[in-house]
Amino acid sequence: MQITAAQLCHILKGEIIGDPEAVVRRPGKIEEAGPGEITFLANPKYEPFAYTTKASVILVSRDFEPREAVSATMIRVDDVYASITFLLNEFGGKVEAQEGISGQAFVHNRADVAKGVSVGHFSVVEEGANIGEGTIIFPQVYIGKGVQVGKNCILYPGTKINRDCVIGNNCIINSNAVIGSDGFGFAPKEDGTYQKIAQTGNVILEDDVEVGANTSIDRATMGSTIIRKGVKLDNLIMVAHNVEIGANTVVAAQAGFAGSSKIGDRCMIGGQAGFVGHIQVADGVKVQAQSGVNKNINQADSAWYGSPILPYNDYLRSYAAFRKLPALMKRISELEKKLKDKG
């Protein structure tokens, strides 16, 4: 990437303030960027860095009014996040992979691999698997029997997709994610041991799904565990058997979903949130980090916090009162002592 501020301004339909010939070669964080780098200011907390950054170019919003001198060339844009996202995808988002099938990979002769698919070293594609055009399979990926992978997917090193699972088009599965591991199903026996229940279903990832590193999605006991179109799952997430996560829902790291929970469309779920099994969550629900969802949430576009969950504002009021408990207990103790002394 090498581009001038003037060229960037034209691409982003922005307004330039400063040197139009400033050259950008790479992006950088506003607090660390140096000459030849482009950075951005979107969060007001980082405004002080706008006056000290060594970056050559900085993207700012159209309504940004600097309170001090800014040495970097500024480009004012309508939406800073959208602009920097566009630039990162345009100039740094291309995934490099080897062409064709590595001689050190194993592809079963009864697997159907489309033209133009890349298969890296030591990857395995089992019998009956079907891989769509433009898909990139990095080294050490396992694709089990009967698996279907759509077009233009990226499977990063160490990904495991077990038998009969279905991956849609334009999906990204990051390193060491496991799709289609056995669901946690055991029946107690009279002698105190457990009998494993066969997990006969599969996992379906619809189009445009991204799965983070080390995330595990269990196959259904019967039927399918389903991750709907456009869902984005962070790293280290656990999705149990027969869970359904609705379209365009985003989930942060270390969240967990117990069996048969149903999550609506467009939900936003914070890190380490937990969901008990067999519950339903309405569309557009926001669940704060570390919350415990122990019941159905039927109100669409509502916000929740705490463990067990409370409506967001109720939780904040409750927590404000909770923080005062030590002082309140001390005051009660002092009042009791005074009453006792008077008596």
Query: For 126-152, what is each residue's pLDDT tens digit?
Result: 999 999 999 999 999 999 999 999 999
Question: If residue 155 lies in a helix (H) or strand (E), which one and from where to where?
Answer: strand 154-155
Last residue of a domain, one of 33, 62, 92: 92
Q: In the structure encoding, which two tokens stand for residue 290, read together?
A: 């570390």
Q: Residue 123: inside a domain, yes or no?
A: yes
- 103, β-bridge pairs: none
Q: Are residues 166 and 217 in the same domain?
A: yes
Q: What is the CATH number of the domain that holds 49?
A: 3.40.1390.10
Q: Are residues 201 and 290 in the same domain?
A: yes
Last residue of a domain, one of 69, 92, 115: 92
Q: Side-chain half-sphere of 111: how many Cα atoms within 13 Å?
A: 26
Q: Residue 121: inside a domain, yes or no?
A: yes
**What is the model's pLDDT at position 343?**
66
Q: pLDDT per residue over 80-112, tens digit each?
A: 999 999 998 887 767 777 789 999 999 999 999
| Mean pLDDT estimate for the chain | 95
Q: Are residues 74 and 124 in the same domain?
A: no
Q: CA-CA distance, 156 to 99, in Å (whole number)?
A: 15
**What is the model's pLDDT at position 208?**
98
Q: What is the CATH number of the domain that holds 187?
A: 2.160.10.10
Q: In the structure encoding, which two tokens stand for residue 262, read together?
A: 């149903």
Q: Determine the 3-state secondary structure of 341 from DSSP.
A: helix
**What is the model's pLDDT at position 282?**
98
Q: Are residues 166 and 61 in the same domain?
A: no
Active site residue 108: no
- With a CB cutoff of 8 Å and minimum separation 6, the contacts of 65 are none
Q: Residue 299: inside a domain, yes or no?
A: yes
Q: Residue 323: inside a domain, yes or no?
A: no
Q: Residue 99: inside a domain, yes or no?
A: no
Q: Are residues 173 and 211 in the same domain?
A: yes
CB 166 within 8 A of CB 146: no
The distance of Cα 294 from the centroid of its chain, to the nearest Å, equals 23
Nearest in space to 103 (alpha carbons), one of 118, 117, 121: 121
Q: Residue 327: inside a domain, yes or no?
A: no
**What is the model's pLDDT at position 152?**
96
In the chain, which stretches have pLDDT less than 70? 93, 343
The distance of Cα 179 from the centroid of its chain, to the nearest Å, equals 16
Q: Are residues 160 and 292 in the same domain?
A: yes
* 142-143 and 124-125 strand pairing: parallel
Active-site pick, 10, 121, 241, 278? 241
Q: CA-CA distance, 106 to 191, in Å (whole number)?
A: 44
Q: Are residues 169 and 33 in the same domain?
A: no
Q: Are residues 152 and 85 in the same domain?
A: no
CB 144 within 8 A of CB 180: yes
Q: Are residues 143 and 79 in the same domain?
A: no
Q: Are residues 126 and 43 in the same domain?
A: no
**What is the model's pLDDT at position 99?**
84
**What is the model's pLDDT at position 93?**
65
**What is the model's pLDDT at position 149?**
98
**What is the model's pLDDT at position 338?**
87
Q: Residue 321: inside a domain, yes or no?
A: no
Burial (0-12, 13-18, 19+ Cβ within 10 Å), 289:
middle
Q: Determine the 3-state secondary structure of 157 from DSSP.
A: coil
Write down the number of H helices and E strands in the chain: 5, 39
Give pTM, 2 decimals: 0.86
Last residue of a domain, one of 34, 69, 92: 92
Q: Are residues 51 and 126 in the same domain?
A: no
Q: pLDDT per residue over 22-33, tens digit each?
A: 999 999 999 999
Overall number of domains in the chain? 2
Q: Residue 129: inside a domain, yes or no?
A: yes
Q: Are residues 217 and 71 in the same domain?
A: no
Nearest in space to 47 (alpha carbons), one of 26, 61, 28, 27: 61
* Domain carrying residue 77: 3-92
